[in-house]
């Protein structure tokens, strides 16, 4: 039963991300978003740790010290800042993300909040979560500023206005 519920959660999340990406004009990204979640590596974690109110990857990480599903997922999905982290002579470093992936990351975060919060979703929730977790990110400064700007805009307006803002401010330039 947990597998079925996990698939429902994935499908609901994918629906919201696809809808948001389409609103931004990112059709291919909307369709291709998070397809790795249907792989055996990621599905088995969801089937084992699904609770419906938070990511099974977080629960797996708390249980065994890391998440096999997350390690698989972040290496295949360019809308995660972790995908863009590498090593250099200076140590761990972050590459600047292309704008279209930052916009998809915004859509992903908003959709995840919609799914996990349900009826309790509000436009400030994605920014609140970002501010709570931002301290441990290894993210390029410009990428960080772009994402935060989008989340702040959302928290001060609504989804439709924020999508228009993203299209005018970020997607027209790229």
What's the pLDDT score for residue 174?
62
User: What is the average per-residue pLDDT within 110-132?
Assistant: 95
Percent of the chain at pLDDT exceeding 70: 99
Three-class DSSP category at 73 = helix
User: What is the average per-residue pLDDT within 10-30?
Assistant: 98
Cα 148 to Cα 139: distance, rounded to the nearest angstrom: 12
Mean pLDDT, the chain, rounded, equals 96
Residue ranges with strand state E in the chain: 85-88, 91-94
What's the pLDDT score for residue 52?
87
Percent of the chain at pLDDT exceeding 90: 95
- CA distance to 27, 106, 111, 130, 135, per residue, from 7 (Å): 22, 22, 15, 25, 31
pLDDT tens digit string along 127-154?
Answer: 999 999 999 999 999 999 999 999 999 9
Helix, strand, coil abundance in the chain, percent, nearest 5 = 70, 5, 25
pLDDT at 161 over 90: yes
Kindly list the domain boundaries of the chain, sorted by start residue: 2-171
What's the pLDDT score for residue 173?
72
Cα 96 to Cα 98: distance, rounded to the nearest angstrom: 7
pLDDT tens digit string along 44-80?
Answer: 999 999 998 889 999 999 999 999 999 999 999 999 9
Nearest to 143 by CA among 59, 79, 77, 86: 79
- CA distance to 53, 81, 147, per residue, from 59 (Å): 11, 21, 26
């Amino acid at each position: 039963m947990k597998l079925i519920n996990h698939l429902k959660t994935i499908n609901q999340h994918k629906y919201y991300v696809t809808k948001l990406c389409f609103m931004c004009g990112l059709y291919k990204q909307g369709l291709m978003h998070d397809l790795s979640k249907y792989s055996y590596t990621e599905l088995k974690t969801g089937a084992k740790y699904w609770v419906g109110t938070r990511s099974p990857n977080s629960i797996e990480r708390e249980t065994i010290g890391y998440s096999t599903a997350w390690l698989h997922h972040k290496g295949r999905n360019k809308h995660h800042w972790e995908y863009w982290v590498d090593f250099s002579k200076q140590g761990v470093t972050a590459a600047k993300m292309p704008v279209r992936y930052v916009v998809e990351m915004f859509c992903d975060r908003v959709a995840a909040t919609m799914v996990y919060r349900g009826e309790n979703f509000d436009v400030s929730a994605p920014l609140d979560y970002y501010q709570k977790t931002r301290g441990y990110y290894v993210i390029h400064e410009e990428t960080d500023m772009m994402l935060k700007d989008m989340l702040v805009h959302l928290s001060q307006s609504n989804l439709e206005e924020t999508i228009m803002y993203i299209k005018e401010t970020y997607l027209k330039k790229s």
